[in-house]
Structure 1
């Protein structure tokens, strides 16, 4: 294995480095050291993200294979009315269950799906043949395979701590990408396009190194897009960023107070009487945009009026566009005389009149002051729509779509669609899978290189140079990264302190500071 030449220390620390030239041995070692720390932390989570992300990317193909008897039907001459299907679903539902969501799917071979909140608080999807009305069976919303895959991908099934851990992993991946590219850049300057080809290494470690460098060069851009498009959905930074974008009118539009649902012959609720919709108050669970069904019931109007205003994230929806997550949901005054809600077919027809024939979820009102809410979340971000409809008359109260988004929300909508492999069909899925599995191979090759270099009983971190170069641009860059991502900033300081106070002292025995082995 070829060794990099030892570089003699320079007498003047102020010697300027050529920006486009190769880094000095000391600077290279510092880049390698931080690349090592970032990779060591990110490695296991990259493997989890790669496997779960690939599986979830192919959800449209996997779920029909897992549950063909529930999701597929033989097309018939005509569908039953939506209201008739809802009544049949209610008849088949367990005692005490409440219908919360209707999935409107116009595909000829698709079954009709209604989500019910059970008395236990969990949710269950009931499937019917839309042509005959026959009950096909049910699936637990929380326990279905793809829900578990998604929980692993976003939070390791650990709740809030897992979400924060995965957010940290995403931020440290940025450090890993940046330092890896900086170490690879001299090869590009020396060899040009040949640096993008898979080289030959001497020995087992040399071959793993060549593969690692090859994968890193090709996957850096894709990994960067993956990280940046996923960060807006994180539990800590993502929610704060969404709130900031919304407040600055760069996300979802702010159109003043949401319109009120009017009871038959009644008056609109005064601003102080606005009621959050019972059954939609479970904000913490809905923040992941994963669940169906909320908590609560019909309650009295005064109790509901004291509840916080409902947002789209609090609704029992499987998916909510990022821009619409913090948008308020209209609510109204309960009628003085009990009145039945609008016929479901009337509501579906009102949505169809707006140009939306299918491919959306419709939240059903479960309180006298609730509204119907349709969430349209297609592969093409320009088709994203959120509609609120009056519970009693079925008329559209608000229709918000991509056209109304701010520039930040529009960019994130495209990033999300690409991240999930939805934007340009199967080719997008294959591309995402290739990047995900390539990142997993990058993590595995890095692990094997570390194990082959590490001495027994040591961490195996690259030795700290005796004369630490200033590397001001990197210090400023990491500082800005820590300011933008405070959680990341705290861990950067912690790692720096641990490195200087503990690891560096223990690692002085690994060789002279000026000698740099190939990695």
Structure 2
């Protein structure tokens, strides 16, 4: 009996190959959608993993300085020099605290047109080394490509869909690979270079895929909590269920405050935040935005994710930002940045963190420490007048979900165990790009002319209740994907049914 006849008989009689073509068909549709996004994710993700090594090579004259035996200038002196170097109307929003002797000092400003720009200084002499656009520097562009294809919200949703469909691709791919009949596990895990043509491509694709499946699954599951739609809902759910950062970690200070000198109404914590203030600049530095900033100050629900910080721990993203309290309402000036840095050091955070600066009378200093080890993560809110710590969130305050996400994030970004973590992430990412390429080659080799080339349906497909239940569950957990699953199923029935049946003996890809 020929191989083709055996395959046909297997499909009709319920042998181990029954259901194979149905799985292959869904694997094909998932791969068709995911492949281009997978290549973008692989390349941009690999580059971003090596950000600590790449950026100093791209901007050596701004980021790197010659270490000196003399003491570094104080943060307030450096901030004053940075302000003097920026155009009129620019507002300082973030201070980057890096204590390495060969690194420059960095401050981020919001320009009058709304753009953010970093200015770099030699911390020993105060010399201005140059500026970089915070939004258009190479690694930020790479990060936005990775997250949203530089297309804003639509791109963010597309990337989220691609991640969800990758789950379908992984599941169906493993099922297609699963050893059948007399195939040994060892043979299924080892590429056979004795094969030629499309059979060789198929073998490499299958073996490479199974070795990468676990890593791909880990990438998807650790990346989805940061997605723009599902990720935000998941974070809100985790917080509401007390599985994220617990809401009860406030200090004993009053949770309401007035502007210094009684210049305003009392404001509830969360109604006024450094997030909105930093977004529009302070009234003193941005007179043209004063009315706008005042309106933003009164907006309720400002949270940590709104602050002008490059990265913050996932667990604190929905944490309300407090206001400076009224215990020192008579004070007319905020504490200098140097005092905040010294206070932060006394609390155990000495290097490698960012401070969002207060930009209104009720703003706070927000310290965000996001190191490679999740257990060391720290978020501090400090009253700008008294220096009182209004809130101190540590890893131990996180819920179970947030702790898991923190570890997943560190591993996903290649930060947790150093260069070895970076290399592992790069290997998985580039391997997935290779999977996309081999899949595309196989499709190209077997595609019929003037047709999509989707695998044919089985003439007597088994019920496959388990797979259908899994897809329904996936659609419920990820509603956006659920909608596209239905759309693909309808399109397959309406447009691709007849064309697919022309290729009953095609080999799987």
Instruction: Give the TM-score taking structure 2 as reference length.
Output: 0.92
What is the DSSP-based 3-state SS (H/G/I as helix, E as strand, rest coil) of the residue aligned with 2:118? strand
1:452 aligns with 2:442: no
Confirm or deny that 1:25 pairs with 2:10: no
Call closer, same or farther: CA 1:333–1:302 in 2, change over 3 Å.
farther
| Per-residue Cα deviation, 1:164-206 (whole angstroms, up to 9, x for no partner) | 0000000000000000001111259831223211113643211
**Residue 478 of structure 2: aligned partner:** 485
Q: Check if 1:210 corresponds to 2:203.
A: yes
Could you tell me how far apart the structure 2 residues matched to 1:266 and 1:159 are? 42
What is the CA–CA distance in structure 1 between the aligned matches of 2:314 and 2:97, rounded to whole Å?
21
1:349-403 Cα offsets, whole Å, 9 max, x none, are 1111111111100011000000000000001111111000010122211110111
Q: CA RMSD in A?
A: 2.6
Tell me, in whole angstroms, the C-alpha distance in 2 between the residues paired with 1:82 and 1:261. 30
Matched, 1:237 2:230: yes
Partner of 1:74: 66
Distance in 2 between residues matched to 1:80 and 1:448, nearest whole Å: 58
1:175 aligns with 2:133: no
- After superposition, residues 21-170 of structure 1 pair within 5 angstroms as 24-76=16-68, 77-170=70-163
Q: Indicate which of 290, 295, 300 corresponds to 2:280.
A: 295
Aligned residues of 2:160 and 2:227 also touching (Cα < 8 A): yes
Q: Distance in 2 between matches of 1:27 and 1:393?
A: 69
1:245 Cα offset (Å): 0.3
Contact kept, 8 Å, 1:276 with 1:309, in 2: the verdict is: yes
Deviation digits for residues 177-236 of structure 1 (CA, Å, limit 9, x no counterpart):
000001111259831223211113643211111110111011000000000000001111
Q: Which residue of 2 aligns with 1:467?
A: 460
Where in structure 2 are the equivalents of 1:368-379 lying within 5 Å?
Answer: 368-379=361-372
The corresponding residue for 1:410 is 403
Q: SS of the counterpart of 2:335?
A: coil
What secondary structure, in the 3-state scheme, does the structure 1 residue paired with 2:19 have?
A: helix
Q: Using the alignment, how far apart are the partners of 2:263 and 2:245 within structure 1? A: 25
C-alpha change, 1:261 and 1:394, in structure 2 (3 Å) is: farther
* 2:183 aligned counterpart, secondary structure: helix
Aligned-residue offset at 1:252: 1.1
Match 2:276 to one of 281, 290, 304: 281
Counterpart in the other structure of 1:290: none
Residue number in structure 2 paired with 1:421: 414
Look up the match of 1:286.
Answer: none
Q: Secondary structure at the match of 2:119?
A: strand
Unaligned residue ranges in structure 2 (runs of 5+): 284-289
Indicate if the aligned counterparts of 2:179 and 2:185 stay in contact, CA closer than 8 A: no
Deviation at 1:509?
A: 2.3
Cα drift, residue 268 of structure 1: 13
Structure 1 pair 26–4 and aligned structure 2 pair: CA distance change class (3 A):
same
Where structure 1 has 5 or more consecutive residues not aligned to the other structure, the ranges are 16-22, 283-292
